[in-house]
Amino acid sequence: MVGKASRIACIGAGYVGLATSLCLAGAGFDVTCADRDAAKVASLSAGRCTLGEAGMAGMLRDALDAGRLRFTVSNAEAIAGSGMAFICVWTPQGPDGKADLSSLFAVARDIGANMAGRMDVVVKSTVPAGTARKVREAIVRAAPDAVRAYGLEVLSCPEFLRESSAIRDTLHPSRVVIGCDDDGAALRLRETMEAMVAPGTPFVMTGPESAETLKYAANAFLSMKVAFINEVAGYCEAVGADVRDVSRGLGMDDRIGPKFLAAGPGFSGGCFPKDLAALLHEGRSLGVPLMILEATAESNMAQRRRLAGKVATALGDPAAPPGSSLRGRLIAILGLSFKQGTGDMRDSVSLYFARELCARGASLSLFDPEASQKVGEFLGELMPSIKVCPDEYGAAAGADAVVILTDWPRFAAMDLGRLGAVMGRRLIFDYRNVLSGAEAAAEGFEYHGVGV
């Protein structure tokens, strides 16, 4: 257990900031987590967890009960008295793909204005190479005297957690990456992280630019793997192969590995598309060719277009004027979150499908076990052509087709007889390959998977 003096500030209470705060508090540190969202701070302070991540609610209660975790809307309050500050704010995609770092630099200025002793600033947000140095410069500009008097180091420590396993990934990361030129600060952060993560976790100690690049490269590589298997899936469809068998056999080669080889509607969510766009922007502005990754982004969009196009072709009236080929058709979309295990709809492929099908005149009935209540926020502009249903059978009632977009296990367990009985036409687009095509066919469905 670490000493009481170890006070840490965590700025941002999203997936990364909240998981980091809870795990640091669980390791015995005294943590103050700041977020500008007052409703979120009030909820967390009252012990009501704002994310549905496994383990979080219990850890939140424990940390609050032990008095090791506080939430505040004030960055100043979190920073004052802390010797280490984790920056975990969102770095959204700006126009032209560039990462928008304005929140990050606002935090840097707050750190300068409120530091009252030596400060190690740890950048966890996903940022382009060179950002940790710029954060240091920003703090020095904001508070040259404080930096001179107390000392300041800015380190990169990128986060690799996945939504839906945020706590597990934070406590059991495949590696911890620390990027810093100062050995003393790097060691202080390493000791802090070692107190939090599982024993034996490997550390990659490097310079800040390498750490920052490693994070973008990791997400880009995984994005590329998904885009790759989706292209192979298209090929499989053309030649009568089954991409699931191809993936299984590919994954047995330990140089390739089995993960991120599930064909589907393309990668989406709050991270991969944004981080790929940011890296491509960096490459273009530096004149560095990132041709494979340019193709990855394009291929991912092409996959969406191809799969939505198949729905439109199967159901559409080819003679109808543009914007009305699906008029009069009701399509059920099952799955709105960008992957199973989360209610997150940010940049989800379901948004693309919903807009695309509505733009051709279709009406939609939607269901998701976690994200349904967010439909108004993300797809409000499509009302009244869309309606949200309480379950998959309600969504399928009277529908001309069902389109599965999220790999929720409950969709694999659907009663296809019951589903078909309520539908207007037994047509299913299983874009996560969760069903058996043979079983669907036995229930009288016209079945379309991805790469099968």
Residue 268 as a binder of ligand UGA (CB under 6 A): the answer is yes
Residue 420 as a binder of ligand UGA (CB under 6 A): the answer is no
Hey, how many other C-beta atoms are within 10 angstroms of the C-beta on 130?
Answer: 13
Considering the complex, what minimum distance in angstroms separates the CB of residue 291 from ligand UGA?
21
Exactly one of 219, 296, 325, 372 binds ligand UGA (CB under 6 A); which one? 219
6 phi and psi angles, rounded to 5 deg: -80, 75
**Is the CB of 32 or the CB of 268 nearer to ligand UGA?**
268
Count of CA atoms in the C-beta half-sphere (13 A) of 57: 7
Considering the complex, what minimum distance in angstroms separates the CB of residue 275 from ligand UGA?
6
Could you identify the residue written with the tokens 């180091």? 153
Residue of 88, 236, 271, 389 with catalytic role: 271
Binding to ligand UGA in span 220-239, by CB under 6 A = 222, 226
Length of the chain: 452
Partner residues linked to 429 by β-bridges: 403, 448
**Cβ contacts of 321 within 8 Å, gap of 6 or more:** none
Residue 430 as a binder of ligand UGA (CB under 6 A): the answer is no
* Inter-residue contact 191 to 155 (CB < 8 Å): no
Count of CA atoms in the C-beta half-sphere (13 A) of 107: 30
Site size with ligand UGA, rule: CB under 6 A: 21
> What six digits make up the tokens of 124?
């966890």
Residue 150 as a binder of ligand UGA (CB under 6 A): the answer is no
130 phi and psi angles, rounded to 5 deg: 100, -10
* Inter-residue contact 160 to 184 (CB < 8 Å): no
Helices (H) and strands (E) in the chain, counts: 19, 14
Exactly one of 107, 261, 330, 382 binds ligand UGA (CB under 6 A); which one? 261
Residue 269 as a binder of ligand UGA (CB under 6 A): the answer is yes
Residue 339 as a binder of ligand UGA (CB under 6 A): the answer is yes
Exactly one of 29, 71, 216, 272 binds ligand UGA (CB under 6 A); which one? 272
* Inter-residue contact 17 to 10 (CB < 8 Å): yes
In three-state secondary structure terms, 179 is strand
Task: Please identify, among the stretches 114-122, 268-276, 315-323, 417-425, the one whose residues bind ligand UGA according to the rule CB under 6 A.
Answer: 268-276
Residue 86's closest CA among 172, 205, 188?
188
Binding mask of the shown chain, residues 126 to 145, with x at each position contacting ligand UGA by CB under 6 A: x-------------------
Considering the complex, what minimum distance in angstroms separates the CB of residue 395 from ligand UGA?
20
- Is 389 part of the annotated catalytic residue set? no
Considering the complex, what minimum distance in angstroms separates the CB of residue 247 from ligand UGA?
8
Residue 6 as a binder of ligand UGA (CB under 6 A): the answer is no
Considering the complex, what minimum distance in angstroms separates the CB of residue 163 from ligand UGA?
4
Residue 90 as a binder of ligand UGA (CB under 6 A): the answer is no
Residue 297 as a binder of ligand UGA (CB under 6 A): the answer is no
Q: How many angstroms separate the CA atoms of 452 and 445, rounded? A: 15
* Inter-residue contact 107 to 87 (CB < 8 Å): yes
Residue 170 as a binder of ligand UGA (CB under 6 A): the answer is no
Q: How many angstroms separate the CA atoms of 94 and 80, rounded? A: 31
Exactly one of 36, 43, 98, 160 binds ligand UGA (CB under 6 A); which one? 160
**Is the CB of 99 or the CB of 315 nearer to ligand UGA?**
99
Residue 123's closest CA among 36, 40, 189?
189
Task: Please identify, among the stretches 20-28, 70-78, 196-204, 255-263, the one whose residues bind ligand UGA according to the rule CB under 6 A.
Answer: 255-263
Residue 335 as a binder of ligand UGA (CB under 6 A): the answer is no
**Is the CB of 14 or the CB of 361 nearer to ligand UGA?**
14
Q: How many angstroms separate the CA atoms of 437 and 244, rounded? A: 12
Residue type, 200: G
Catalytic (active-site) positions: 271
User: What residues line the site for ligand UGA (CB under 6 A)?
Assistant: 126, 159-163, 219, 222, 226, 260-262, 264, 267-269, 271-272, 275, 338-339
